[in-house]
Amino acid sequence: MNLIIDVGNSFVKLAVYSKNKLIFKEIVEIDKILEYIISIKNKYNKLTNAIISSVGRLRKDDIKVINQLFDLLVLDSRTKLPFKNLYKTPNTLGVDRIALVCASVNQYPKNNVLVIDAGTCITYDFINTKNEYLGGAISPGLRMRYKGLNNLTATLPLLDTKTPNNIIGNSTEESIHSGVVNGVLKEIDGVIKEYEQKYSDLTVILTGGDANFLSKQLKSSIFANSNFLLEGLNFILKFNSNS
């Protein structure tokens, strides 16, 4: 059994896998991570291996405690990976992006795969049929766009995410919703279209916190999978345990 620890900017996703089956998942605040991990350890006595993927701030003392509880793998640029990394700056490649690519290698081997992670940022990651990771793109996510309009202007309000009623906003609030949401949708559909023009047999995966909100409104053919990153981390842990 494997414990997956995905540390984001504000919260931590904890998951337990028995082989390839997800049997537990919880989202917790970062300052409560040890409390939850100890509780999970007590609940699943066959839980021996763990992996940490951290784009947020996880204290070294917390990592030391976790390392005492499990056979721990901390994912970074030096971790052995099941693909050829052609990124020009591999040391700067986010561990979340690495995990997503690994999930695509595991589930869609020898395919052209574009993984779109719609979270704080929207990341695009592409791996080809030769198992070569070529890179992708990073752009602001939905909430970042809403906050940017509010923070960088004098009068525009901060709004909750909402599907716009019309492409033409007839009030300031509706104009913001139209600009932000339709802007993201047009961006994603446009990026997918460009990849499809170059790779006709493209598989597209949409994941991340905003995946469910966006998937219903996209025109492109996609597979939505909210657990794709966790599945990638579980695969990395198994890949390194068997190597």
Is 113 a known ligand-binding residue? no
pLDDT(234) > 70: yes
CATH architecture, range 2-74: 2-Layer Sandwich (3.30)
Is 172 a known ligand-binding residue? yes
Which amino acid would we find at residue 196? E
Residues 6+ apart with CB under 8 A from 153: none
Is 12 a known ligand-binding residue? yes
Give the per-residue pLDDT at 31.
Answer: 86
Is 92 a known ligand-binding residue? no
CATH superfamily of 84-232: ATPase, nucleotide binding domain (3.30.420.40)
pLDDT(71) > 90: yes
Q: Which residues are catalytic?
A: 96
Q: How many helices (H) and strands (E) does the chain have?
A: 8, 11
Confidence of residue 243 (pLDDT cuts 50, 70, 90): low
Is 95 a known ligand-binding residue? yes
Neighbour order of strands in the sheet with 71-74 = 21-29, 11-18, 2-7, 49-54, 71-74
State mean pLDDT over 58-68: 90
DSSP three-state, residue 73: strand
State mean pLDDT over 184-189: 98
Domain ranges of the chain: 2-74, 84-232
Sign of CA dihedral 100, 104, 106, 109: negative
Rounded Cα distance, 216 and 147, in Å:
23
Give the model confidence (pLDDT) of 3-27 as tens digits: 999 998 778 999 999 989 999 999 9
pTM (two decimals):
0.93
State mean pLDDT over 212-224: 93
State mean pLDDT over 205-224: 94
Q: Do domains 2-74 and 84-232 have the same CATH topology?
A: yes
DSSP three-state, residue 208: coil
State mean pLDDT over 223-241: 95
Rounded Cα distance, 101 and 148, in Å:
29
Is 36 a known ligand-binding residue? no
Give the per-residue pLDDT at 58.
Answer: 83
Structure tokens given for 41? 């350890």
Confidence of residue 157 (pLDDT cuts 50, 70, 90): very high
Is 183 a known ligand-binding residue? no
